Every structure is written in C-alpha cells, then in structure tokens.
Amino acid sequence: MTKTKARQAAILAILDELYPNVTCALHHSSPWELLVATILSAQCTDERVNMVTPGLFAKYPTMTDLAHAPVAEVATLVHSTGFFNNKAKNIIGAAQRILTAYGGEVPQKIEDLLTVPGAARKTANVVLGTCFGIASGVVVDTHVSRISQRLDLTREVTPEKIEKDLIRLLPQSRWIQFSHQLIHFGRQTCVARKPRCGECRLADVCSSQDKVA
C-alpha cells in the first residue's frame, strides 16, 4: 500500500470509529419530505430547516397538497431558510413534476431526479443515498468541501470537481457514509471558524497549513 493510500485508509478508519452509524441530519419520514428538506437546506443550516419543515408539512401534508399550494403562502412558511421565493417555486414545481412524470413516487435514478426543480446533484445524492441506499455519487456540501481540502483529498474548489476526486478516491461502498461522517465531523470538531485541532483525531493525517493548537 502506498503512503497516500495508507493515509486515506487511516482517515476512513478514524471516521468509522468516531461516527459508525451516522445518517442525514435533516428530519424526514419519507423520500418526498427529505427531497423538500434538502431543497430548503441550500444556503441554510439543517437546524433551521428542521424548524421549518414541521409547519410546512402540517399545512401541506401530501405531495398533491404542495403541488396546488400558492407560492406566496409556501414562501411565507419557508421564509427563514432564505431565498424563500425561489425555494417555494422549486418545491411546488418538484411536487408537480413528480406527480406528472413519476406517478407521485420520488424517482430512484439520478438522471430522473435531476429533472426535478430544485434538485441538483447534491440534493439527488442525499435523497438516493439516505432513502434508497443508492450510491449515485458523493454529497458535497460546505463541510465536505472544506474538510476534503484540509485533508488533501482534493485540491479542487467546485463541488462538481471535488465530487469527481472523491468518487475516484473512495470505494463506492463508502460514498454515502463518508459525506455524513464529514458533515458531523465538521460540526463537532473541524469547525469552520475555529477548528479544534488540539482535540482532533485526524490531526496526524491532516495536511492543512493552518492547523491550530
């Protein structure tokens, strides 16, 4: 095993020790609810989305309900997630698209999901991985992007190119879990504004130039 491969294996082993059973932090009871929550999570924290979705689904409990909802009313309900007008249009459009094109069932092929309003690769990967166990790619959010760069798993800066690097480096069996692990790690230890390097289990394999004590 090369030195690079050994370091990558060490990273995965430590993440498995720290977060053996992590899953998506967005609360949901169905693929549809997770799709909506993930659309709302763009440029917003999961915690905020989890505060908003109970009221949204209480008002519009089914996909059909949301498909016929007034944009202004939905925008009011999701206002605190930011970009509320676009998000309201997207989740209403998503409901309409899935009802008309897929019989009301969230599609399980990434090519189909990407035709749904508001569902880019990150959203599609979240839904397919979390709800269906389908490793269609690697979810690249701000945590995954930042920490993958710090660990020298990629030197790219765009989510699309970072995902390609991670897909190349990681076995497909790790694509789903790896993202969840890095997201939790980013919230608890490798915090963006003040990483806790002194207590970090990955410090010995971290290549970041700005580690702090």
Distance from C-alpha of 183 to C-alpha of 23, rounded to nearest angstrom: 10
- Using CA atoms, how far residue 184 sits from 16, 119, 138, 147, 176, in Å, is 12, 23, 15, 11, 13
Is 122 part of the annotated catalytic residue set?
Answer: yes
Residue 61 phi, psi (nearest 5)? -70, -20
DSSP labels for 133-180?
----S----HHHHHHHHHTTS----SHHHHHHHHHHHS-GGGHHHHHH
Number of neighbouring beta carbons within 10 Å of residue 130: 20
> Which DSSP state fits 199?
G
HSE on the CB side for 177, CA within 13 Å? 16
**Which of the residues 3, 87, 141, 204 is marked catalytic?**
141
Residue 171 phi, psi (nearest 5)? -65, 145
**Tokens standing for residue 133:** 């166990």
**Which of the residues 59, 122, 161, 164 is marked catalytic?**
122
Q: Are 25 and 38 in contact (CB under 8 A)?
A: no
Known catalytic residues? 122, 141
